[in-house]
């Protein structure tokens, strides 16, 4: 019997299982109520007293070997299933991570900024609630000047000196106060005008304005910069400048780009002319320089300004300006692929 028990111990130690089920039947085979150990202990009763000690020890060894084996294998299978559930099926195709999208206004603003960054313009920002001086007076728009009516203004009732800025030219006023030429700055930001809301206009929109001041800046520099911009931004290389009026620039011009008349939409957005107005510009009025303590006999400069919504509507063929502010996910999701 001793030999048999020792053989069984070796067998138990060498046992390997491929599944939980195999471990279970192994347990039943050795440790179950009708198992091998039960039988052996039954036989043990008939063993001669002189052999009882040795065989008894061997039986105990067999029992603990079997118990250890079962526990060891059970643990192994359990940790295997645990790690399986935490990693999942590694061969399964990945689930898409829902990505956000940048707002089209940010996309277009970043692109404009990037184009002007390349020729040395840096960004400046200012407050949305502005005082009269920075938004109007310093820009050659004294009180009661009729040109103030060009931009319907939201005033702050409690303090008539305060208003919501009607253009980001106010940031340029501040920049000129705090910096000396040469100045090359770009001011993007939100502006406010008391206008009826429609598909084409809104009371809140975004502008980006540029200001360049140095010695010997000429209208040719302005035109060349605008040409560079339209080429980089729209891939169009034909522009025209129409005489216009802004109180803060003299001479002033409206910039049109030749968009072309290739598709039906081209006809629609250019009203059949092929030309599209994209911004206002001009040479900084000497009065504006004087107001900022910059000597107009020594320095000259140009400025330009455009509406970001308008450019975005052109680039993405967006028919209604209100779509920018409704935050309809179906609209916003369409800009996922653009950086
Ligand atoms: N500030 C002008 C506007 O809001 C745009 C502009 C800027 C025009 C600079 C000329 C020069 O309409």
Report the predicted TM-score, pTM, of the whole model to 2 decimal places: 0.72
Assigned domain for 296 exists: yes
Return the structure tokens found at 238: 């034909």
In a structure prediction context, what are the per-residue pLDDT tens digits for the chain, which is 339 residues long?
888 888 988 888 888 888 888 888 989 998 888 888 888 888 888 888 888 888 889 889 989 988 998 888 888 877 776 655 667 778 888 888 888 889 999 999 999 999 999 999 999 999 999 999 999 999 999 888 877 777 789 998 888 899 999 999 999 999 999 999 999 999 999 999 998 998 888 999 999 999 999 999 999 999 999 999 999 999 988 999 999 999 999 999 999 999 989 888 888 888 899 999 999 999 999 999 999 999 999 999 999 999 999 999 988 888 889 999 998 999 998 888 776
Residue of the CA atom closest to atom 6 of ligand 1: 305
Same domain for 147 and 76: no
| Domain edge (last residue) among 86, 117, 134 | 86
Centre of ligand 1 to C-alpha 6, Å, is: 100
Residue of the CA atom closest to atom 7 of ligand 1: 305
Site residues for ligand 1, CB cut-off 6 Å: 167, 169, 209, 246, 249, 280-282, 303-305
- The pLDDT value recorded for residue 217 is 96
Same domain for 211 and 172: yes
Structural domain of 112: 104-335
Distances (CA, A) of 64 to 72, 126, 190, 200, 228: 12, 81, 80, 86, 87
Assigned domain for 99 exists: no
Render pLDDT for 235-283 as a digit per residue (tens, 0 to 9): 988 999 999 999 999 999 999 999 989 888 888 888 899 999 999 999 9
Query: What's the structural domain count of the chain?
Result: 2
Same domain for 165 and 279: yes
Residue of the CA atom closest to atom 9 of ligand 1: 304
- The pLDDT value recorded for residue 84 is 58
Same domain for 169 and 68: no
- The pLDDT value recorded for residue 264 is 85
Centre of ligand 1 to C-alpha 318, Å, is: 23
Question: What's 260's domain CATH number?
Answer: 3.30.930.10
> Strand order of the sheet with strand 239-246?
122-123, 183-192, 204-214, 300-307, 275-284, 249-258, 239-246
Beta strand 122-123 with 183-192: parallel, antiparallel or unpaired? Answer: parallel
**How far, in whole angstroms, is CA 171 from its chain's centroid?**
26
| Domain edge (last residue) among 40, 60, 86 | 86
- The pLDDT value recorded for residue 83 is 58
Same domain for 238 and 173: yes
Centre of ligand 1 to C-alpha 325, Å, is: 23
DSSP label of 136? T
- The pLDDT value recorded for residue 86 is 67
Same domain for 226 and 291: yes
| Domain edge (last residue) among 51, 86, 121 | 86
Nearest to 150 by CA among 250, 283, 247, 255: 247
Same domain for 110 and 56: no
Same domain for 249 and 328: yes
Ligand 1 atom with the shortest distance to the CA of 210 = 9
Assigned domain for 92 exists: no
Assigned domain for 229 exists: yes
Same domain for 110 and 82: no
Same domain for 176 and 28: no
Centre of ligand 1 to C-alpha 284, Å, is: 11
Same domain for 144 and 267: yes
Assigned domain for 60 exists: yes
Centre of ligand 1 to C-alpha 306, Å, is: 7
Same domain for 148 and 120: yes
């Amino acid at each position: 019997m001793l030999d048999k028990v020792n053989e069984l111990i070796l067998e138990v130690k060498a046992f390997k299982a491929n599944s939980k089920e195999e471990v279970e039947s192994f347990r039943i085979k050795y440790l179950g109520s009708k198992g091998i150990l039960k039988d052996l202990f039954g036989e043990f009763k008939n063993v001669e007293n002189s052999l009882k000690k040795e065989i008894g020890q061997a039986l105990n060894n067999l029992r603990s070997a079997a118990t250890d084996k079962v526990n060891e294998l059970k643990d192994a299978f359990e940790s295997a299933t645990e790690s399986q559930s935490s990693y999942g099926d590694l061969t399964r195709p990945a689930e898409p991570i829902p990505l956000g999208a940048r707002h089209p206004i940010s996309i277009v603003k970043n692109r404009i900024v990037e184009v002007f960054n390349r020729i040395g313009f840096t960004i400046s920002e200012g407050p949305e609630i502005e005082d009269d001086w920075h938004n109007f007076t310093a820009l050659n728009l004294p009180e009661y000047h009729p040109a103030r009516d060009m931009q319907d203004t939201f005033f702050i009732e409690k303090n008539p000196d305060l208003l919501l800025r009607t253009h980001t030219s106010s940031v340029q006023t501040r920049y000129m106060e705090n910096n000396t030429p040469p100045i090359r700055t770009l001011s993007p930001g939100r502006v406010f005008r008391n206008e009826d809301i429609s598909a084409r206009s809104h009371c809140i929109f975004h502008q980006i304005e540029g200001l360049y001041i140095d010695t010997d800046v000429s209208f040719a520099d302005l035109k060349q910069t605008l040409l560079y911009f339209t080429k980089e931004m729209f891939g169009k290389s034909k522009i025209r400048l129409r005489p216009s009026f802004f109180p803060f620039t003299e001479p002033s011009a409206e910039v049109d780009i030749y968009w072309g008349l290739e598709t039906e939409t081209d006809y629609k957005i250019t009203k059949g002319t092929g030309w599209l107005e994209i911004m206002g510009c001009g040479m900084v009025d000497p009065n504006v320089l004087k107001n900022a303590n910059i000597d107009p006999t020594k320095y000259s400069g140009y400025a330009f300004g455009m509406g970001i919504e308008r450019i975005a509507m052109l680039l993405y063929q967006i028919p209604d300006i209100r779509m920018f502010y409704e935050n309809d996910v179906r609209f916003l999701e369409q800009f996922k692929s653009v950086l």
